[in-house]
Amino acid sequence: MRTHLHVRYLHRRNRHLLAQSMSPEPRKSTALSNIDELAVIIATEMSARMLNQSSFVPVLSLSGVAGRLFAPLGMAYIMAVIASLIIAVTLTPAMSLALLANRGVAQHEPRLLTRLKADYGRLLATVERHARAIIAAVMIAGVAALGALPFLQTSYIPELKEGSYTVHVGLAPGTSLEESMRIGGHISKALMAIPGVRLVAQRAGRADEVVDPVGVQLSEFEVGLKLMGPDNEERTVRQIRSTLARFPGITTSINTFLVERIDETISGTPAPVVISVFGNDLDNIDRVSLQIAHLVASMRGATSVQVESPPGTPELSVRLDQTRLSRWGFTPVEVMNAIQSAYQGITVAQEYQGVRSYDVSVVMCPADRKDIGQVGSLLLRNPDGLMVPLRDLAQLQQVSGRYQITHDGGRRVQVISVTVGGRSIAGFVSEAQRRVDREITMPKGTYAVFSGESEALGRSQRDLLVYGLMAGLSVVLFLFLALKSRRAVALVLFNVPFALVGGVGSVMLTGGSLSLGGMVGFVTLFGISLRNSIMLVGHYQHLVEKEGMLWSLETAVRGASERLVPILMTAIVTALALLPLAITSGEAGNEIEGPMAVVILGGLVTSTLLNLFVLPTLALRYGRFDGTGVSR
């Protein structure tokens, strides 16, 4: 995409030498011709390059995960522009002088090019005869594209095709490890029966002495798929969801490993939509959380709803009686330590094997710990050596409790994670917020906060909008410095809505889903698409102000014809560079840059058509060029 200046320089050099060969005046040297032509081109090209780099400023301003994904791309593009400009200013003229200095110049243009320009001139004349209708159609298309933007489904991160998925399965609180593994075995067999599944591995719970412990009622299944295309992979994922739906009494969610890590980086929870319920009273928090989870589960697009630490875990409450403890000579600490040693175990020694050490723990045998009714029979020895059963020292009662109480910033919180499918996450969150505010009554001191991909997407959209407006102002400034005409700037900026038409059209043709990559594509598209408009308007100024032509239909057609080959060549080269990314947009590893390439490619097509057929007519009707060096 950075070959534009080289193409312009060589094309303009050949045109200049051809004109000299047909002129009776003495011919300048090739070196002088190179310098003169390069000086003419660099003025407008520098402004176009600055404009192009300004369009990438919003990409560099992205924060968080979006900045990590797209900032290196923007920086690479800017460095490529700078390197290309240096090469075009230094190496291209030198190579032209060395390789083309002694070559003769053809007296006539190639026949194919002559015929192409003649046909192009006739098309421009036809456009001029129907100018009002065509201009009106372009404006209507631009308004329609702008009006279609709010109706596109937006997403932060597209669905990644990793070939491996993580399935989360939640059972009722208090489910034992044995029961979790038994049910997990049935789920694994059902998943392995799906034709596209290669392997299934289950992991139940997570150790207590880690940063994020998980109860044994929660399991993660690593599901590996066979090699297949994107369509077959989507079909296999749908079969996995339908298979899991056949198991009653469980909650499930499925996603790829990388998407979960991105979601976890954004909100701390591996889910695209996270609802955090804060408050002081745990009972109120749990009650509101269950109400919200039930409400959200009934909404269209909710494929999975999970409460992170739901209440209802069976617990055995041991309430010590201080009077009885004093009567038998026990202290509360002694009784609690004895219960912990019997049922959880206590480290009493360490064993060393070489450089490794192992804890030696003492705990009651599993058979004595299996029956909850035998807890009261636990014998405790007082300082006098008397054996007293636990039921004589405390009140034992089975209650419903919580296996985990989570906090965020010192506040008690219950987290609801939601997986969305079949609709945009932003639209889902917007509807969920309205329904929660309208249908859920929050106790005093209890409130819900929505976060996740929707929040990150909104932040990225605001960054792109704010910095995009700043970049737009700098673009207008560079345009005015290069063209020195308000009318000329307006003519160039008319290309923006027509580029928008192609970008929106390409998104709608590929499914109507606009990811963050597509949004970045729109921002960069506007800078890329303005280049040819700048060069065409600048060439019109050159013909009138430098070559002394009168501004007329003949001048407009000649200028457009002379810019036909450079515009087509740069558009084709850029399209060929983007085409592989656009074609493989849904393939694994290309889910982020692919949508960006689709948007740029679609906008490039329509903006090129505008530059070739509509912009000359607009310039003829509304442009004002004279020979004083200023175009009004």
Residue with tokens 């289950």, as numbered in its chain: 202
* CA–CA gap between residue 168 and residue 45 (Å, rounded): 55
DSSP 381-445: E-TTS-EEEGGGTEEEEEEEE-S--EEETTEEEEEEEEEE-SS-HHHHHHHHHHHHHHH-PPPTT
SS3 letters across 548-601: CCCCCHHHHHHHHHHHHHHHHHHHHHHHHHHHHHHHCCCCCCCCCHHHHHHHHH
Per-residue pLDDT tens for 577-620?
Answer: 888 888 887 777 777 788 888 998 999 899 888 888 888 888 88
- Which residue in 313, 296, 307 sits closest to 269, CA to CA? 307
What does CATH list as the number for 314-401? Answer: 3.30.2090.10
Q: When comparing pLDDT for 287 and 260, which is higher?
A: 287
**No. of H helices and E strands in the chain?**
21, 17
> Coil, strand, or helix at residue 304?
strand
Give pLDDT, residue 595. Answer: 87
Where are the domains positioned within the chain? 1-108, 110-151+484-632, 161-269, 314-401
The answer to whether residue 318 scores a pLDDT higher than 70 is yes
Give pLDDT, residue 1. Answer: 47
* CA–CA gap between residue 512 and residue 552 (Å, rounded): 43
Per-residue pLDDT tens for 394-416?
Answer: 999 888 888 778 888 888 999 99
Point out which residues pair with 222 in neighbouring strands. Answer: 166, 201
Burial class of 306 by CB neighbour count within 10 A (0 to 12, 13 to 18, 19+): buried
Contact of 406 with 414, CB cutoff 8 Å:
yes
* pLDDT band, residue 48 (cuts 50/70/90): low
* CA–CA gap between residue 503 and residue 528 (Å, rounded): 13
Q: What is the DSSP letter of 606?
A: H
Q: What is the DSSP letter of 151?
A: G
DSSP 269-299: SSSSEEEEEEES-HHHHHHHHHHHHHHHHTS
Q: When comparing pLDDT for 537 and 53, which is higher?
A: 537
Token output for 451: 């976060």
> Coil, strand, or helix at residue 318?
strand
Give pLDDT, residue 14. Answer: 53
The answer to whether residue 433 scores a pLDDT higher than 90 is yes
Average pLDDT value for the chain: 81
Per-residue pLDDT tens for 522-565?
Answer: 877 877 777 778 878 888 887 888 788 888 888 888 888 888 88
* pLDDT band, residue 373 (cuts 50/70/90): confident
Q: When comparing pLDDT for 359 and 104, which is higher?
A: 359
Mean pLDDT value of segment 56-63: 78
Per-residue pLDDT tens for 99-157?
Answer: 765 555 555 667 787 888 888 888 888 888 888 898 888 889 888 988 888 888 777 77
Lowest mean pLDDT among 85-94, 218-227, 299-308: 85-94
Q: When comparing pLDDT for 236 and 1, which is higher?
A: 236
DSSP 474-488: HHHHHHHHHH--HHH
> Coil, strand, or helix at residue 630?
coil
* CA–CA gap between residue 401 and residue 87 (Å, rounded): 71
Q: By percentage, how much of the chain surpasses pLDDT 90? A: 19
- Dihedral of the CA atoms 609, 615, 617, 620 (nearest 10)? -160
The answer to whether residue 392 scores a pLDDT higher than 70 is yes
Q: When comparing pLDDT for 102 and 465, which is higher?
A: 465
CATH 3.40.50.1970 fits 110-151+484-632, yes or no: no
Angstrom distances, CA of residue 503 to CA of 153, 258, 427, 531: 14, 28, 22, 17
Q: Which helix (H) or strand (E) covers residue 615, if one does? A: helix 615-622
The answer to whether residue 187 scores a pLDDT higher than 90 is yes
CA 383, 386, 388, 394 torsion-angle sign: negative
Q: When comparing pLDDT for 281 and 44, which is higher?
A: 281
Q: By percentage, how much of the chain surpasses pLDDT 70? A: 87
Token output for 80: 């490529």
Point out which residues pair with 199 in neighbouring strands. Answer: 224
Token output for 463: 């960054």
- Dihedral of the CA atoms 312, 315, 319, 320 (nearest 10)? -160
Contact of 157 with 453, CB cutoff 8 Å:
yes
Token output for 51: 């404009």
The answer to whether residue 8 scores a pLDDT higher than 70 is no
Per-residue pLDDT tens for 221-232?
Answer: 999 999 888 788
Q: How far apart are the first and last CA of the chain?
A: 32
Token output for 166: 């993580």
* Distance from the Cα of residue 329 to its chain's centroid: 66
- CATH class as words, domain 161-269: alpha beta
Lowest mean pLDDT among 13-17, 69-73, 201-205, 266-270: 13-17
* pLDDT band, residue 12 (cuts 50/70/90): low
Amino acid at 511: G
* pLDDT band, residue 447 (cuts 50/70/90): very high
